[in-house]
């Protein structure tokens, strides 16, 4: 029996619509990155496993069970971009070239998660990393950039959630406090285990029993040292001054070990249980952890597939502007010549290659939602003209071929 192959579970085939929106999102993101002064880097999909064990954290969900590893090698498909960008930075001693770098990247990431709506095994990140400054204004810049990209892409009903995990010392003390205070018997099965070696992760578990157990802890921002409290206050006041709306969520901790101080998430009500369109935060100690110099950094990543889901509607048609129709075989050559001329003027147009009747060609143009049809007929050609039909207005005029481009540009 013939085997019919399907795409691998947790991966997506983007149809022409999704591919078009995908490219449009990338275009909008690149324009926002340019406005904010971030430069693109394209890094490999394959990395050494140890980079993520050390960078993201040995006991994180990602490293514990989600890494796609090449059999018998210490090579993995990258699960995220931050540790990788820092690897690239250290490898090339970029701190010797400049003390401040702002990078962005767009590309696929891989995590062996249980696939569900908004959660895939291959997905794409639009990520940014700003390396070399601990200024709280940079935290605000990064947050505003992530918000700008999602807004420019048309994602509505978003909410910005922020928190501060404090410095490494605060984080360690807070984690010990949580570990001591939580009663494992009240938690879901996964969090019973987490509560011993990854206690902070229990805070953003979505299971009702864990939400209740965490609520009972009555958390505030009092786990932070004076300096980190001041810093978080400053962050909120700059966001207020900039008119950026946010919710301060003391249980927002994020699943990657490298974060300290500012963490944030942008959620959308258009998504289901996987409601984060993007997330990020500060990771001032990651560079040192990976054997580099002691340089602070902050960044974020937006999930492209989640942006596609949040955008929803498929009623948008990707269509050319012009359909070049020919009356019969005798006008095909001239029709093709006109098509070429229109394309040289950067007008998007299609041609009928299957020798259908004019009626069928007009029907096809209408079905595709194309606004203009150029009808190439023998009689008009004798006068150096064609018929230009505006399908939206149902009007047609005779136009000299030499004036055709000008005429289309005038009325479109």
Question: What residues make contact with ligand HAM under the rule CB under 6 A?
Answer: 80-82, 111, 113, 118-120, 123, 125, 127, 129, 256, 276-281, 299-301, 303, 305-306
CB 236, min distance to ligand HAM, A: 20
- Distance of closest approach, residue 85 Cβ to ligand HAM, in angstroms: 8
Closest-CB residue for ligand HAM?
303
Separation of alpha carbons 201 and 325, rounded Å: 62
CB of 370 to ligand HAM, least distance (A): 35
Q: Which is nearer to ligand HAM, 119 or 161 (CB)?
A: 119
Q: How far is the CB of 403 from ligand HAM (least distance, A)?
A: 50
Cβ at position 259, least distance to ligand HAM in Å: 7
For 40, left (φ over 0), alpha (ψ -120 to 50), or beta? beta
171, 225 Cβ separation under 8 angstroms: no
- Which C-beta is closer to ligand HAM: that of 67 or that of 399? 67
Q: Kind and range of the H or E element at 331?
A: none
Q: 131 or 349, CB closer to ligand HAM?
A: 131
- The residue behind tokens 């004798």 is 382
Nearer to ligand HAM, 78 or 371 (CB): 78
Phi, psi (5° rounding) for residue 106? -135, 120
By C-beta, is 55 or 320 nearer to ligand HAM? 55
C-beta closer to ligand HAM: residue 56 or 388: 56
User: Pick from 77, 65, 70: which is nearest to 125 by CA?
Assistant: 77
Q: Give the burial class of 70: count Cβ atoms within 10 A of its Cβ; 0-12 exposed, 13-18 middle, 19 or more buried.
A: exposed
Q: 110 or 351: whose CB is closer to ligand HAM? A: 110
152 contact partners, CB below 8 Å, separation of at least 6: 28, 29, 31, 32
3-state secondary structure 340-367: HHHHHCCCCEEECCCCCCHHHHHHHHHH
Of 13 and 346, CB closest to ligand HAM: 13
By the 8 A CB rule, do 268 and 310 touch? yes
Torsion angle of C-alpha atoms 232, 234, 238, 241, degrees rounded to 10: 120
- Residue 257 CB, nearest distance to ligand HAM (Å)? 11
Compute the half-sphere exposure of residue 70: CA atoms within 13 Å on the CB side of its CA: 11
The nearest distance, CB 258 to ligand HAM, in angstroms, is 8
Looking at beta carbons only, is 125 or 371 nearer to ligand HAM? 125
Phi and psi for 206 in degrees, rounded to 5?
Answer: -95, 0
Closest approach of Cβ 148 to ligand HAM, in Å?
A: 16
CA angle 372, 373, 379 (to 5 degrees): 140
Residue whose CB is less far from ligand HAM, 85 or 178: 85
d(CA 348, CA 187): 59
- The first and second tokens of residue 255, run together, are 């699943």
Least spacing, CB of residue 32 vs ligand HAM, in Å: 16
- List Cα–Cα distances, 200 to 41, 195, 196, 203, in angstroms: 32, 8, 10, 6
What tokens appear for 40 in the block? 């693109």
Q: How far is the CB of 140 from ligand HAM (least distance, A)?
A: 15
Q: Which of 345, 334, 392, 343 is nearest to 366 (CA)?
A: 392
């Amino acid at each position: 029996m013939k085997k019919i192959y399907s795409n691998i579970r947790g991966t997506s085939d983007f149809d022409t619509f999704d591919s078009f929106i995908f490219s449009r999102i990338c275009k909008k993101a690149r324009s926002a990155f340019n406005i904010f002064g971030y430069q693109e880097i394209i890094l490999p999909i394959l990395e050494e496993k140890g980079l993520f064990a050390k960078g993201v954290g040995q006991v994180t969900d990602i490293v514990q069970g989600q890494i796609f590893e090449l059999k018998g090698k210490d090579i993995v498909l990258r699960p995220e971009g931050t540790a990788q960008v820092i690897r690239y930075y250290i490898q090339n001693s970029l701190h010797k070239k400049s003390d401040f770098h702002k990078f962005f990247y767009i590309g696929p990431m891989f995590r062996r998660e249980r696939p569900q709506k908004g959660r895939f095994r291959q997905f794409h990140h639009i990520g940014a990393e700003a390396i070399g400054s601990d200024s709280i204004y940079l935290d605000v810049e990064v947050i505003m950039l992530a918000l700008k990209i999602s807004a420019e892409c048309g994602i509505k009903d978003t909410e910005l959630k922020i928190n501060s995990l404090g410095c490494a010392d605060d984080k360690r003390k807070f984690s010990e406090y949580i570990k001591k205070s939580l009663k494992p018997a009240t938690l879901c099965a996964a969090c019973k285990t987490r509560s011993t070696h990854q206690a902070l992760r229990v805070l953003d578990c979505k299971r009702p029993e864990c939400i209740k157990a965490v609520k009972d802890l009555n958390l505030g921002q009092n786990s932070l040292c004076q300096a980190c409290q001041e810093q978080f206050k400053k962050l909120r006041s700059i966001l207020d001054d900039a008119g950026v709306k946010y919710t301060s969520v003391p249980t927002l901790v994020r699943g990657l070990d490298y974060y300290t101080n500012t963490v944030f998430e942008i959620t959308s009500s258009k998504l289901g249980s996987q409601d984060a369109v993007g997330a990020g935060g500060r990771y001032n100690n990651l560079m040192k952890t990976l054997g580099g110099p002691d340089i602070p950094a902050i960044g974020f990543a937006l999930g492209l597939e989640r942006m596609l889901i949040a955008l929803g509607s498929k009623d948008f048609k990707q269509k050319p502007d012009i359909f070049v129709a020919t009356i019969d075989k005798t006008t095909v050559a001239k029709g093709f010549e006109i098509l070429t001329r229109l394309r040289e003027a950067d007008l998007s147009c299609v041609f009928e290659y299957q020798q259908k009747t004019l009626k069928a060609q007009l029907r096809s143009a209408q079905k595709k939602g194309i606004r203009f049809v150029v009808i190439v007929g023998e009689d008009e050609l004798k006068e150096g003209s064609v018929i230009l039909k505006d399908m939206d207005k149902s009007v047609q005029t005779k136009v000299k071929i030499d004036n055709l481009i000008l005429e289309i540009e005038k009325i479109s």
